[in-house]
Structure 1
Amino acid sequence: MNKELIEKYIEAYNSKNVPGMIALLEDDVLFENVSNASEGITTHTKVEFERLAVQSLAYFSERKQTIRFITESQNSIAIEIDYQATFAADFPDPTKAGQQLNLRGVSVFEIKKGKITRISDYS
């Protein structure tokens, strides 16, 4: 059951379906993005997460997470992903519209009562 929940989340993410993503989250969901390349991002509620998710839609004209490996325990799932995206706009750093982003990462999801309570993305 938990595996299907995460697959639905990834499917909603890939199709830029923010309401579909939000529907799978607990109200006090913790989201953290930990990256070697930039400062991390943390949100503490579904409302904050939704705001971040909507804001990020403008960053990429295309984006896709592909699950490489998935491991499941009773209340958590870890997935290794390949992430590919195309930037939609120029950024203050050297990043330009049309530039490709390719990386591999790990996401850890905690789940309680059929809802995602925590998402930790590492890249």
Structure 2
Amino acid sequence: MPAATHALLNRFYAACNAGDIVAVLDLLAADVVHDINQGGRESGRMAFGSFLQRSGRCYRERIDVLEIMTNADGSRAAVEYRVDGEYLATDIGLPPAAGQRYRLSGGAFFEIRRGRITRITDYYSLSDWLAQLVA
């Protein structure tokens, strides 16, 4: 099962990088839970699709240098990654966007059930990101 989880998460990040929201949503359980970095919790594919749409308007990001770790049965995983991005449009509650570029280390935790992602918990340093915007 760990190999299947590795393949699933590689497909997830490839679809995210391609901006293919339909492909991303196809990898998620209908009741997926998304813990937003230093924010709230949303549930369901529709909520995650809305999150991706807003993110696509505000940011151009590429997530790479993936290090995927799983438990023995592949039901849980952690991914460390690097984000190279550009802040395109001002996001709610954040500083004004002016095309600032940034590079961050980040991570995510996943739960997997029957070949679909049931939980995504994202983390990156918001203070590091904000510091890069004004540098």
Identify the TM-score tier after normalising by the shorter chain.
Answer: 0.7 to 0.9
Structure 1 pair 67–108 and aligned structure 2 pair: CA distance change class (3 A):
farther
Between Structure 1 and Structure 2, the one with more strand by share is 1
Q: Does 1:59 align with 2:62?
A: no
1:27-106 equivalent positions in 2, closer than 5 A: 27-35=30-38, 40-60=39-59, 62-73=60-71, 74=73, 75-90=75-90, 93-106=94-107
SS at 1:119 equivalent: strand
Structure 1 pair 93–24 and aligned structure 2 pair: CA distance change class (3 A):
closer
Unaligned runs of 5+ in 2: 125-135
- Contact residue 67 and residue 79 of structure 1 kept, 8 A: no
SS at 1:66 equivalent: strand
SS at 1:97 equivalent: coil
Query: Which letter maps to 2:122?
Result: D
Structure 1 pair 10–114 and aligned structure 2 pair: CA distance change class (3 A):
same
* Displacement of 1:106: 1.1
* Displacement of 1:34: 2.6
SS at 2:36 equivalent: strand
* Percent identical residues: 25
State the aligned residue count: 118
For normalisation by structure 1, the TM-score amounts to: 0.87
Unaligned runs of 5+ in 1: none
Give, in whole Å, the separation in 2 of the partners of 1:114 and 1:88.
Answer: 34
For normalisation by structure 2, the TM-score amounts to: 0.80
Between Structure 1 and Structure 2, the one with more helix by share is 2
- Contact residue 70 and residue 77 of structure 1 kept, 8 A: yes
- 1:6 is matched with which residue? 9
